[in-house]
Amino acid sequence: MPASTAPGVYVEETPSSSDTITLVPTHIAAFVGPTRRGPVEAVPPVLASVADFERIYGDAQPLWLDDDGAGGVAPQTNHIALAVRAFFDNGGTRLYVQRTAAAATAASAPLHPDGAAPDRSIVIHAATPGRLGNGTVRLRERASPATLRAMTHAEPGAMMRTANADGIFECVADAQGRWHDRQGRRVVHGRVGVSRILSFEIECLDAEGLLLDAWTGLAFSALHPRWVGTVLSREAAAVGRAPVWWELAPAADAWALLDAVRSLVPDADGLAPVSLAGGTDGRLPPLGAADEPGSYAAAFATLAGLDDVRLVAAPGSSLRSDGAALRAALVAHAGAPRAWRMALLDPAPGLTAADVQALRAGVDSPHAALHWPCLVVPDPLPLPGVVGATLTVPPSGAVAGLYARSDLQRGVHHAPADLAVQGVVRAEQPVSTHEQEHLNPLGINCFREFIGRGLVLWGGRTLSSEPQWRYVHLRRYVDAIEASLDAGLRWVAFEPQGRALWARLRAAVDGFLLGQWQEGALQGSRMRDAWYVRCGLGSTMTTRDVAQGRVVCEIGIALLQPAEFTMLRWTGASADALQPGG
C-alpha cells in the first residue's frame, strides 16, 4: 500500500496477471466468392453490417460474368451479397469477405487533354475491378479568399491567383514558400482582397449513381500535403481509403493538372463529369493456385493469415461445375493445422435426399458441416411491380449467422441447433421426420418446419466418421480451447525452463478451465472429474525435453461425461530452447 501521510483516498493499481487465458471469440465468420467490387488481393476489412458490405463490395445486384469463357456475359446471382444479408439477419455480428475475381478489369478514364505528351498524362482509375466501377468522377475548381498569412507564409505547393501592378498572375508556392508563375518567374503577391487560393473538389459516383465519397481542398501541386496524387494514391485505394486513384505522369505538374481540370465542361451543378469505362466483372473465378490473384486458392491463403476467423463458407460455389473441387479446398482450409475452423458446406438447389447423401459420401472431416435443403428468401431487388419475388439460395450464410448467434448467446460449447431461421420464406423442400431420422446419423443437418416456430435448424453434426468428433459443438469447443491455449501461453517462450515455470503454467491452465467449468462447458460435479492438467519432468516431459527447453503440458477435459477425458497436448518452447544448429 502507498504510504498514507495525510487523510484522503489512496488508490493502488495492481497489474493483472499476464498468465490469464481467455476463450477466443468463436463467432467471427469469413465468406469467399465474387462480388461487384472490393479488394481482391488485400486483406479484407471486418464488416459489422450489411451497410458495411454494400459500401465496400456493392449491393445484391447480379454479377455479369463470362461463365463459359466464350466472351459473352450473363447475369449471375450474387450469392455472396445474399449470404451476407442472411448472416446478419440471423445474428451474425462480425464478418470478413474475401473477394475472388478472374480477368476482371478496373474502369479508368484519361483526364489530360487530347494530344498531351505521355509524360504529362493524367488517368483516373477505379480502385477495384468490376462493372460497378464504370461510374463518374465530378470535379470543380474552387477559388477561396486568401489570408495575409497564406500569402506571406505560403504552404509549399499552394496555388494562388493574385493581381499586382504588373497584371493578374496564377502562381505556385515552392518549398520555401516563394511564389512562381507558370514560367517559373518569381511573383510578388498583390492585395489580400483580390487574391484567391486555388484548389479543387471531387465527387465519386459508381455506375448506378451512388455517391461513394467526396473530397474538398485538393491541391494541384505535388509539394502540397493535400495533393490529389497523395490523397487519392494507389496505396490509399489499396487499403480501402478511396474508391478511385489518380495516376499522374512525372511531367504532369500543377499546371498540367490545372489545365486538365479547366478543359472539362461543367454540368448544371457546376461540376465537370469524367466518365470511367472499361470495368468488367470478368469470368467465373477458378480454384487456381495460392499464387494466382483472384482465385479461390489465393483467397483461402489470405484468410489463413486472419487468426480470429472460426467459420468459413464459399456461398454459391456448390452451383458450379467444379463445386466438388471447391468444396474439397474449403474443407482442407478449415482442417489445416492450427486453423481451428469449421467449413459450412452447401448443397446445390434442387438436390433430393438421395442426392445430398451422395454429396455427403465424398467428405469425411470433423471440420466440416453440411446443411440441407437450400432456403427460399425474399428477393432484395425485385423488378418493378413484382410482389412476392423470391430467390433460392444455399444456406451457409444463414447457418453462419445461427452459429454466431448461438455462440454469443449460449456459448460455443452448446450445440448450434434448434434455432429459428430469420429472413427466409421457407425451405426449398419440406423434410419429413422419416427423412430426418435417416439423414441425421449420416451427418446431414436438416431444416425443419414446425407449427408455431417456423423454420428451424434441426441438427448439429459434423461430417466426421470418428465418433469422438460427431458433433459440431464438441469439435468447435475443442478448437476454441486449443486456440485459446496457443494465444494465452505465448509468455512461456520468455521464461527459463524449470519447476517454477511448470507450476505457473499449470496454474494458468487450471484457472482457465475453472472458468469454463463454472460456465457449464465441462462435465462433472467435482473439479477433478471435469479436467486435469499435468506438466512436469517424468509426467509429461523427459530429461531430453527439459534439456532442449521443450515444455509439454497434458490437459484432459470432460466434454460428455464426468471423468471421461478428451486429452489435449500443448507443446511450447521456453527461453532455454536450443536454436536450430545450436
Local structure of residue 467 (DSSP, 8 states): G
Q: Tell me whether residue 329 is in a domain.
A: yes
Domain holding 206, by residue range, is 108-275
In a domain, 537, yes or no: yes
C-alpha cell at 91: 445474428
| Last residue within a domain, chosen from 275, 305, 326 | 275
Domain boundary among 256, 275, 294: 275
Which of these three, 275, 294, 314, is where a domain ends?
275
Domain co-membership, 358 together with 415 = yes
Any residues with CB less than 8 A from the CB of 325 and at least 6 apart, and which? 287
Q: How far apart are CA 298 and CA 43, in angstroms?
A: 11
Q: Give the CATH number for residue 83.
A: 3.40.50.11780
Looking at the chain, how many residues does it have? 582
Please tell me whether residues 432 and 343 are part of one structural domain. Answer: yes
Tell me the three state secondary structure of residue 527.
Answer: helix
pLDDT at res. 4: 65
CA angle 427, 429, 430 (to 5 degrees): 90
Give the whole-angstrom CA distance, residue 323 versus residue 261.
Answer: 49
Q: Are 312 and 44 in contact (CB under 8 A)?
A: no
CA-CA-CA-CA dihedral for 328, 71, 63, 139, to nearest 10: 130
The reply to whether omega before 373 is within 30° of 0 (cis) is: yes
Q: Is residue 221 part of a domain?
A: yes
Give the pLDDT confidence score for residue 578 in this predicted structure: 61
Query: Model pTM?
Result: 0.90
Check whether residue 415 and residue 526 sit in a common domain: no
Does residue 121 share a domain with residue 57? no
Mark whether 328 and 234 lie in a shared domain: no
8 Å CB contact between 62 and 75: yes
Residue type, 536: G
DSSP code at position 164: E
Residue 409 falls inside a structural domain: yes
444 and 535 together in one domain: no
Question: Which residues, 6 or more positions from 205, have their beta carbon under 8 angstroms from its beta carbon?
Answer: 135, 136, 137, 138, 211, 212
**Same domain as 39, residue 128:** no
Strands 196-205, 159-164: pairing kind: antiparallel
CATH number of the domain encompassing residue 529: 3.30.360
Shared domain check, 115 and 203 = yes
In a domain, 198, yes or no: yes
Residues 266 and 415 in one domain: no
Tell me what pLDDT residue 19 has: 81
Q: Does residue 316 form part of some domain?
A: yes
Are residues 81 and 204 part of one domain? no
Q: For residue 7, is it within any domain?
A: no
Give the pLDDT score at 582. Answer: 45
* Contacts by 231-234, CB closer than 8 A, 24 or more apart: 232/202, 234/125
What is the bridge-based pairing of β-strands 368-372 and 342-345?
parallel
Mean pLDDT, consecutive 10-residue segments, the chain of 582 residues?
Answer: 71 68 97 96 95 95 77 81 98 98 95 79 96 96 92 93 87 94 88 91 95 96 96 93 95 94 91 96 94 96 97 96 96 97 97 96 97 96 88 97 98 96 96 95 96 94 96 98 97 95 96 96 96 96 95 96 96 80 48
- The alpha carbons of the chain give a radius of gyration, in whole angstroms, of 31
pLDDT on residue 188: 84
- Residue 187 CA, chain-centre distance (Å), reads 52
**How many domains is the chain partitioned into structurally?**
3
Q: Are residues 287 and 405 in the same domain?
A: yes
* Residues 326, 345 within the same domain: yes
Return the pLDDT at 539. 94
